[in-house]
């Protein structure tokens, strides 16, 4: 694809934090000297062309008060994984849920990242998910320390 400088500036800007405000493109508009409406028009065009597949908000869970989290690995077979994953995805506290190929020595192929405000809430959520899915064999994997957290940049040129 050929991108002009304005397209490149828009892409670089929207893959980073966009301000939560009534006019999220105002600063970008001022810096590249085009209207906010033109920015929105170009974003829509790039979406229609498939250049931008999706835009979404990322919750900074710790800033929102979700201070406890765990990756829970569940034992299930591939036939039930989709159904269990759909149930887990219903929980607002589940930010990621995916089925992976795992080695035979680790029979827990369904993973769910669960965020909670307290340790008690985390335990309660895991218990509730286990009851609703019928999956009672799982491992709770907790982080010891966050070493790096950055958003992916798909375009920086």
Q: Residue 82 sits in which domain range?
A: 68-141
Q: What is the CATH number of the domain that holds 91?
A: 3.30.70.3460
Q: What is the pLDDT of residues 2-45, one digit of tens each?
A: 778 899 899 988 888 888 889 999 998 999 999 999 999 999 99
Tokens of 6: 């304005």
Total tally of structural domains belonging to the chain: 2
Query: Has residue 85 been placed in a domain?
Result: yes
Residues 9 and 44 in one domain: yes
Residues 42 and 104 in one domain: no
Nearest of 23, 19, 48, 21 to residue 36 by alpha carbon: 23
Counts of helices then strands in the chain (DSSP H, E): 5, 4
Residue 155: what pLDDT? 64
Task: Confirm if 136 and 128 have CB atoms less than 8 A apart.
Answer: no
Query: Has residue 33 been placed in a domain?
Result: yes
Tens digit of pLDDT per residue, the chain (157 long)?
A: 677 889 989 998 888 888 888 999 999 899 999 999 999 999 999 999 988 888 877 767 777 777 889 999 999 999 999 999 999 999 999 988 999 999 999 999 999 999 999 999 999 999 999 999 999 999 999 987 777 666 667 666 5
Residue 66: what pLDDT? 73
What is d(CA 149, CA 144) in angstroms, rounded to the nearest whole number?
14
In order of 45, 68, 71, 95, the CA distances from 138 in angstroms are 45, 18, 10, 18
Alpha helices (H) in the chain, listed in sequence order = 5-14, 26-32, 36-48, 78-89, 119-133
**φ and ψ at residue 69, rounded to 5 degrees:** -145, 160
Residues 29 and 83 in one domain: no
Query: Has residue 56 been placed in a domain?
Result: no
Query: Has residue 153 been placed in a domain?
Result: no
Long-range contacts of 79-88 (CB under 8 A, 24+ apart): 81/109, 81/110, 83/133, 84/110, 84/133, 84/134, 84/135, 85/110, 87/129, 87/132, 87/133, 88/112, 88/129, 88/133
């Amino acid at each position: 694809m050929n991108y002009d400088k304005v397209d490149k500036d828009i892409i670089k800007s929207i893959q980073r934090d966009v301000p939560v405000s009534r006019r999220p493109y105002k600063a970008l508009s001022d810096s590249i000297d085009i209207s906010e409406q033109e920015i929105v028009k170009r974003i829509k065009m790039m979406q229609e062309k498939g250049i931008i597949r999706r835009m979404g908000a990322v919750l900074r869970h710790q800033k929102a008060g979700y201070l406890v989290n765990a990756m829970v690995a569940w034992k299930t077979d591939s036939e039930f994984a989709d159904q269990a994953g759909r149930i887990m995805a219903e929980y607002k506290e589940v930010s990621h849920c995916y089925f992976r190929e795992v080695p035979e020595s680790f029979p827990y192929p369904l993973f769910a990242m669960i965020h909670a405000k307290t340790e008690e809430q985390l335990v309660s959520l895991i218990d509730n998910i286990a009851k609703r899915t019928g999956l009672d064999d799982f491992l709770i994997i907790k982080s010891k320390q966050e070493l790096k957290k950055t958003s992916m940049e798909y375009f920086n040129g």
